[in-house]
Amino acid sequence: MVEEKKPQASKDDVLNPKTAAEKLTKKKAKDEQDELSEEDQQLVSELEMIVERLKEPSVEIHHSALNNLANIIRSTASSMTSVPKPLKYLKAHYETLAGLYDQWQDNQNKIALASILSLLGMAYDKDGKRDCLKYRLLAGLANGSISEWGHEYVRHLAMEIGLEYHTMVEQEQDTEYLSEVALSAVSFFFEHNAEVDAVDLLEELNRHELVVDYVTKETFERVCLYMISCSPLLAPPTDMGYLSTARAIYRKFGKPSQCLPLSIRLGRTDLIREDWESCGTRLEKAQLAFIMARQQVHMPELIEEDDDELLACMNNADLSKHYLNLARQLELLEPKAPEDIYKSHLENTNVDMTLDSARHNLASTFVNAFVNAGYGTDKLMTASTDGSEWIYKNKDLGMLSASASLGMIMLWDADVGLNQIDKYQHISDNSIKAGAILAIGMLTSSVHDETDSAKALLSEYITEEDSPAIVKLAAISGIGIAYAGTNREDILDLLLPVVGDTGITIDLSSIAALSAGMVCIGSGNGDVSTVILQAMMERMDSELNHKYARFMALGLSLLYLGTQDTFDTIQETLKAVTHPIGKQASTLMQVCAYAGTGNVLEVQKMLHICAEHLGEKEDQLPQAFAVIGVGLISMGEGIGSEMSLRTFDHLMHYGEPFVRRAVPLAIALVCASNPLVGVLDTLNKFSHDNDKAVASSAIFAMGVVGAGTNNARLAQLLRQLAAYYHKDADLLFIVRIAQGLLHMGKGTMTINPYHHDRSLLSHTALAGLLIPIVAMTNAEKLIMTDSHFLLYYLVRAMYPRFLITFNEELESISASVRVGQAVDAVGQVGRPKTITGFQAHETPVLLAHSERAELATDKYIPLTNVLEGFVILKKNPDYVENEEEGL
């Protein structure tokens, strides 16, 4: 059988691609022509006839032809699933119509043609000339003409407006000519429920503040939610500008409880005062006082002198009472012993036989303190009239931690707590006395005591020269914990002389610097930073090598927490410090300044420090701080947090030893009180590492990640680790600490510094979390030896994760709520649900890290949009009792 020869491509087709392409285009056009239906062929002919009529000189014919063309386009543009056919078939005539526009005289027909060309320019603008915008500007905006071609047209026009604006700005030319058409587009977007597009367009023009003029009662919530969610993704100062605009919108519609969190994020006390004064009722002021108390913003001057009830709200005075009431309803008042947490019978080993009793008792002291925190009773310290029996089962500084644990057990209850602690203040043993003094500072953490008991009782131990060093150290720590975030001058007057005194030991000076940093946290106080810098420069290198010196650097850094780029002068001064502490402080300051911002550039800088290969004699601590910094910077932003976890995996595989040791600590910061399954698996893997420092960091991180959650899976992992490390006293001690953290407050607390639906970062809580983590960078010489009391700084981060509702008389009431996983509803159409997988409960209830609550009844109206912490409900005047029962 003879094969039939296939036709070969001509030489021109092979060698000349242009010729081949032309032939292909012609063939495709011919095929399309053949495929046209009779209806489409008629439309093509009609369009060609209209174009021919437009070429004629008669103005009347032009008017009729343009009306016909516009009607044809409009009538076929109703489908959103395909390109309108007139646009498709007018492609061949686009250049012709543009040429006609240039030839015509100025009249109404020319404007109408420009409007049609603007629409065609959306599809056929090849060279980036922005014809859609060009012809829209030429056509003008008469009679709402911008809306005649529909939503997709206006969106494309908005995009071209943004591109044109940036081009003009780069060329330093005037952009005012774009304002009218841009604002018309914004108005169109708001009229057609596309508020997100409107905000984006105004942002392109750097005019986002104009949003305030366009929002309505129906749209303002969605607009504000979008702007607040965008803020972390924008560069300064636009990010703060978005928050200011959102606040202005809330003010316009009389929502002080929604303004206040934004004023706090902006760091403006004048705006907080404005929000307070804008409250129409006393109840609204009470709700604001609750929010301020949670954030530790204390401004008693706002409250009238005789209003003790409002002052109590702002002071968090009843926190202990409500917490115990919650515990009573959840049947948690029965104190727990450390053994109830360890469940040693499940560990398959007799740990008590292998661990020296003093070390075991010290671990039990911390577990007992964390588990019974805030309950006022326990089985070790308060079980008998004389709790000193347990104290004497500890050695040396273990006795300090034992007597200090009373401060945590009596947390937030100053009246009862001070009586319990008083008997240990006058004991001759300095360690026990020091513990009692530290307990006083812990007792008033997160609550403001009107009698100023912490200052009254602790100041004498700081100022007296003959005070034993350990007592003075405890007093300085206690006063830092008690007055964190207050910016009080009288407290600084106590601390700064100690910071600058080179005649005392470096540990006292460093802890004083740390306390001063906590008192003025995030304030950028120049006087305090000057004193700390001076102390660094005057100290000898041998002193700055001390294990406590890092806390001097941390104290300096806390002054600039969240301030971003306001520390350049201090950074330059630190370069003059020749000792490695200069670089340590510089790195710490950088990460603290950008804490929670999600700033990608700063994260990259930290990763660059992590990637450096240092010599044996070079200080590696800055690398550890840089790793912690990656977690600290990215912790406030969801996507950034996920990316950081991936980055930590790489650092763990390829990093230097010091970098690897800090990775679990950074993970702990990102996921505090949020035990994600993947994170627990990762940390469990690290906890079996050959490097003891990595293992100890990972075990501690497991405790922080699960803090206050009672997570059953994590409890099992920790029991397995206790059995695995039963012969290693140091690591077993850390396992016990982690177990105590996991069951903190019997599962009712959190140490995550974010609250108010994870929108507000508490600086004082973050400091409380950061100090033990920095201490863990040298756990062997600090936490595992004589400085275990540093773990008590966590008390600043501890807070109940409850929702308690009040009536209009500020009495606790039970209300029906739905609690479920929070859903991101930003930018979604309509009114989407904000929670999923919910369950109905009666308040008070506990909220997990990623959970959100909403009222399940119309009987009440909440005075804040975020149901978390203390929430006041007022009765709904429009509520009908039978209406809900009939549903």
Q: What is the pLDDT of residues 113-122, one digit of tens each?
A: 888 788 888 7
- Domain limits at 825? 802-885
For the ranges 351-360, 569-578, 775-784, the maximum mean pLDDT occurs at: 775-784
As for how many domains the chain has, the answer is 3
Classify residue 474: in a domain, yes or no. Answer: no
Helix axes 621-634, 763-775, angle to 10 degrees: 150
* 266/124 same-domain check: no
Q: Structure tokens of 40?
A: 């489409």
| Average confidence (pLDDT) over 775-799 | 90
DSSP state of 878: T
- Which of 314, 333, 353 marks a domain boundary? 314
- Give me the residue label for tokens 């859609």: 132
Report the pLDDT averaged over residues 399-415.
89
When pLDDT is cut at 50, 70 and 90, the band that residue 351 belongs to is very low
184: number of Cβ within 10 Å: 18
Task: Write down the mean pLDDT value for the chain.
Answer: 84
Phi, psi of 869 (to 5 degrees): 70, -130
Q: Residue 2: pLDDT band by 50, 70, 90 thresholds?
A: very low
> Is 765 inside a domain boundary?
no
The helix (H) or strand (E) run that includes residue 607 is: helix 600-610
Please list the residues that pair with 872 across neighbouring strands.
806
Return the SS3 of 255: coil
What b/e sequence results for 555-573 when a residue is b if at least 16 CB atoms lie within 10 Å of its CB, and e otherwise? bbbbbbbbbbeebeebbeb
Domain shared by 73 and 125, yes or no: yes
Confidence at residue 667, expressed as pLDDT on a 0 to 100 scale: 93
| 742, 715 contact by CB (below 8 A) | yes
User: Is 362 part of any domain?
Assistant: no
Whether the pLDDT of residue 89 is over 80: the answer is no
Helix and strand numbers (H, E) in the chain are 45, 12
Residue 554: predicted pLDDT: 93
Cα dihedral 755/756/757/763 (nearest 10): -30
Question: What was the pLDDT predicted at 352?
Answer: 47
Residue 51 and residue 98 in one domain: yes
pLDDT at 60 over 80: no
Residue 18, pLDDT above cutoff 60:
no
Q: What is the pLDDT of residues 96-114, one digit of tens each?
A: 777 777 777 777 777 888 8
Return the SS3 of 835: strand
Question: Model confidence at 450, in pLDDT bands (50, 70, 90)?
Answer: confident
Token representation of residue 349: 């080993």
Q: Which amino acid appears at position 500 of this protein?
A: G
Q: Which residue has the higher pLDDT, 77 or 414?
A: 414
Instruction: Tell me: do 84 and 216 sit in the same domain.
Output: yes
Whether residue 885 has pLDDT greater than 50: no
What's the CA gap between 354 and 364, in Å, rounded? 15
Of 294, 314, 334, the one marking the end of a domain is 314
Q: What is the mean pLDDT of residues 846-863?
A: 89
Percentages (nearest 5) of helix, strand, coil residues in the chain: 65, 5, 30
How confident is the model at residue 515, as a pLDDT? 93
Q: Is residue 119 part of a domain?
A: yes
pLDDT tens track for 125-169: 777 778 888 888 888 776 556 777 778 888 888 898 888 888 888
Q: Are residues 219 and 281 in the same domain?
A: no
Place of tokens 């709790």: 387
Residue 869, in any domain of the structure: yes
- Please give the average per-residue pLDDT across 795-824, as a whole number: 90
Query: Is pLDDT of 500 > 60?
Result: yes
CA distance 720 to 62: 87
77 — pLDDT class (breaks 50, 70, 90): low
Helices (H), 90-145: 94-103, 108-124, 131-139
**Out of 275-279, 362-366, 635-639, 669-673, which region has the weakest mean confidence (pLDDT)?**
635-639
Percent of the chain with pLDDT over 70: 90
Which pLDDT value is given to residue 13? 46
DSSP E strand boundaries for 715-771: 749-750, 754-755, 760-761
Last residue of a domain, one of 297, 314, 331: 314
Check if the beta carbon of residue 355 is closer than 8 Å to that of residue 726. yes
Q: Are residues 126 and 275 in the same domain?
A: no
Which pLDDT value is given to residue 784?
87
Q: Are residues 226 and 146 both part of a single domain?
A: yes
| Average pLDDT score over residue span 727-733 | 89
Distance, in Å, from the CA atom of 863 to the CA atom of 808, rounded to the nearest integer, reads: 10
Radius of gyration from C-alpha coordinates of the chain: 34
Structure tokens belonging to residue 781: 């010489």
Q: Is 222 found in the same domain as 96?
A: yes
State the pLDDT confidence band at 737, using cuts at 50, 70 and 90. very high
The 3-class secondary structure across 537-599, one letter per residue, is: HHCCHHHHCCCCHHHHHHHHHHCCCCCCCCCHHHHHHHCCCCCCHHHHHHHHHHHHHCCCCCC
Q: What is the mean pLDDT of residues 839-851?
A: 88
One domain, residues 88 and 222? yes
**pLDDT band, very low/low/confident/very high, at 304 (cuts 50, 70, 90):** confident
Q: How far apart are CA 683 and CA 34, in angstroms?
A: 67
- Name the band, by pLDDT with cuts 50, 70 and 90, for residue 346: low
Cβ atoms < 10 Å from Cβ of 252: 13
Residues 146 and 92 in one domain: yes
Q: Which amino acid is at 150?
A: G
Question: Model pTM greater than 0.85?
Answer: yes
Confidence at residue 71, expressed as pLDDT on a 0 to 100 scale: 77
Whether 861 is covered by a domain: the verdict is yes
Residue type, position 682, single letter = T
The rounded percent of the chain whose pLDDT value lies above 90 is 28
Strands 802-806 and 869-875 turn out to be parallel
| Residues 69, 99: Cα–Cα separation, whole Å | 17
Torsion angle defined by CA atoms of residues 309, 311, 312 and 316, in that order, rounded to the nearest 10 degrees: 150
**8 A C-beta contact, residue 54 and residue 46:** no
Contact between 632 and 774 (Cβ < 8 Å)? no
Mean pLDDT, rounded, for 739-753? 92
Q: Which of 31-35, 81-85, 244-248, 285-289 has the lowest mean pLDDT?
A: 31-35
Q: Compute the average pLDDT of residues 574-581.
A: 85
Q: Domain for residue 586, yes or no? A: no
Report residue 884 as tokens: 């809900």
pLDDT range class, residue 17, cuts 50, 70, 90: low
Alpha helix (H) ranges present in 195-281?
195-204, 211-214, 220-230, 238-252, 256-266, 269-277
Q: Are residues 223 and 184 in the same domain?
A: yes
Answer yes or no: is 704 within a domain: no
Residue 392: pLDDT band by 50, 70, 90 thresholds? confident
Which pLDDT value is given to residue 10? 46
Tokens 């320019």 belong to: 121
Contact 390, 381 (CB under 8 A): yes
Element (H, E) at 248: helix 238-252
The predicted-structure confidence for 178-213, as pLDDT tens digits, reads as follows 888 888 889 888 888 888 999 999 998 888 889 999
The more confidently predicted of residues 411 and 828 is 411
Q: Are residues 89 and 127 in the same domain?
A: yes
Which among 485, 323, 491 has a CA at the least distance from the CA of 412? 323
Tell me which of 701 and 617 has the higher pLDDT. 701
